[in-house]
Structure 1
Amino acid sequence: MKYFYLLIALLFISFSTACTSAEQTTESNDSVETNEEAQENNNEEAEEEAKAEAEEKAAEEKAIEEQKAKEEAAKKEKEHLQALGLEAVTVARVIDGDTIELSDGRKVRLIGVNTPESTNRTEDYGKEASNYTQSKLEGKQVWIQKDVSEADRYDRILRLVWLAIPTNDMDETEIRDKMFNADLVINGYAEPSTYPPDVKYSEHFVQFAREARENSTGLWAYGPEGTTKGDLDTGNSSNTTSSSKETSNNDSSTSTTGGSGKEYYKNCTELRKVYPDGVASDHPAYASKHDRDKDDWACER
């Protein structure tokens, strides 16, 4: 009997030991799993951090590249503007169809074109031309371009106005689409009006005006003479490009009568060779035939 109880005790001890060992094993396994999960979480966090750092670095590099590209584009544009002689300006107000004032106070007379008068005196289609220029230019940024002359006798700078920067400023398509001087002529708001030496685009303007006149566009609806003075007026050849290039060995550009001191010029082209800004009515070279707008100043620009 004593041995029986001893056996029972041994079995109980063995069972207890086995249970304890099993519990320890379970706890150990649980601990390992917990460590593995923690490690996995750490790895995922590390990967996310690395990914975030890589994305941030890529974004910074992209921003740097974009900034470099912008600076390079700005540099190329500046060089292009300088090559074409273009100046970026803002139009503060429109004075009339062919005269504007810039935000810096400078007044600009558009060269190569003449719109009907709408300020001190009024010509047919003058208000329409002025309103059109206002709708297209006032408050806008444009690019002005000098031909040869700097300013007229009224201290207005003489310029071409571009609505957009041309790639090639002598390309006819770009002239039609981007130059406002041409736009005025194409749409019948202005007549071509050439005053040497500013003749860079005069042939284009005359061509555009002929097209507009054939279609009775704008001011040309009033008749083949339009409503203001210009290169296409009947009998007017003094201001066209071709006549400005003519020379004659048989005709003297000027002559002076003996006693009166009066100077005679056959046209404004010849007169401006001596008096670039024209002459007043009390000047010896004044002739009424050269004062087409009857303002007591002949052959003004």
Structure 2
Amino acid sequence: MSRRYSRNLFRVYWWVVVLAVVLVLRVLYSSQHVPAQEALAEGRHRVARVVDGDTLKLVTGQRIRLQGVDTPETVRPDYPVEPWGPEATAFTKQFVDQADGEVTLTFGTERLDAYGRHLAFVWRDDVLLNEELVRAGLARARLGYRYSGTMKRRLADAQEEARAAGLGIWSDAIPGATASD
């Protein structure tokens, strides 16, 4: 085999390896990349269903994640239902039902989470679901994200009220447990 032939063969192999690496990286990136979501305007929207305490699905198919709060898990795959999770989900369902299935959405600086859900403040008239979940002790305030200081103060104050009153997640009680448990 001539020296020139082996050098050309080396170049071909080298380009094949580079191309393979680029293709693998592109596949990995596209599988982790959250697809761009259609813009969602502030205002009134109809809720198709309550997924869990802090997630809604609109009739348009878009998912809404309540900004600034985190409720105990109820539907996370391969994860047990957490105490107070079903109560948080029931609270959110009742809120949406009292709004006849139509809520008003407002947004902070961050519009989407890592899963492509819209981050929103959810209102029924002048009542803020995010705040009421925290005030009832059914959610923790998440203050480390980018949204207004006014909203952060509202959520922090509601959390302090719930904690001081020993409500929900701030209580020693385990929902559904009886005295004999």
- State TM-score, norm by structure 1: 0.40
**1:195, distance to aligned residue in structure 2 (A):** 3.3
- Residue aligning to 2:18: none
Gap regions ≥5 residues in structure 2 = 1-40, 174-181
Number of matched residues?
Answer: 129
Deviations 1:20-43 (A, max 9, x none): xxxxxxxxxxxxxxxxxxxxxxxx
Instruction: State how 1:173-192 maps to structure 2 within 5 Å.
Output: 178-192=127-141
Match of 1:217 among 159, 167, 175: 167
Instruction: State how 1:1-301 maps to structure 2 within 5 Å.
Output: 86-120=42-76, 121=79, 122-138=81-97, 140-164=101-125, 166=126, 178-200=127-149, 201-222=151-172
- Residue aligning to 1:263: none
Question: Which of structure 1's runs of 4+ aligned residues deviate more than 2 A?
Answer: none
Q: Which amino acid aligns with 1:213?
A: R
**1:109, distance to aligned residue in structure 2 (A):** 0.2
Determine which structure has more spread, i.e. the larger CA radius of gyration: 1
Q: Is the 8 A contact 1:112 1:199 kept in 2?
A: no
Deviations 1:246-283 (A, max 9, x none): xxxxxxxxxxxxxxxxxxxxxxxxxxxxxxxxxxxxxx
- Residue aligning to 1:239: none
Gap regions ≥5 residues in structure 1 = 1-84, 167-177, 224-301
Structure that is richer in helix per residue: 1
- Residue aligning to 2:178: none
Tell me how large the CA RMSD over aligned residues is. Answer: 2.1
User: 1:154 aligns to what SS in structure 2?
Assistant: coil
- State TM-score, norm by structure 2: 0.66
Higher normalized contact order (CA 8 Å, seq sep 6+, divided by chain length): 2
User: 1:131 aligns to what SS in structure 2?
Assistant: helix
Percent of paired sites with the same residue: 31
How many Å separate the matches in 2 of 1:195 and 1:161? 19
Q: Which amino acid aligns with 2:152?
A: S
Q: Which amino acid aligns with 1:180?
A: L
User: 1:196 aligns to what SS in structure 2?
Assistant: coil
User: 2:111 aligns to what SS in structure 1?
Assistant: coil
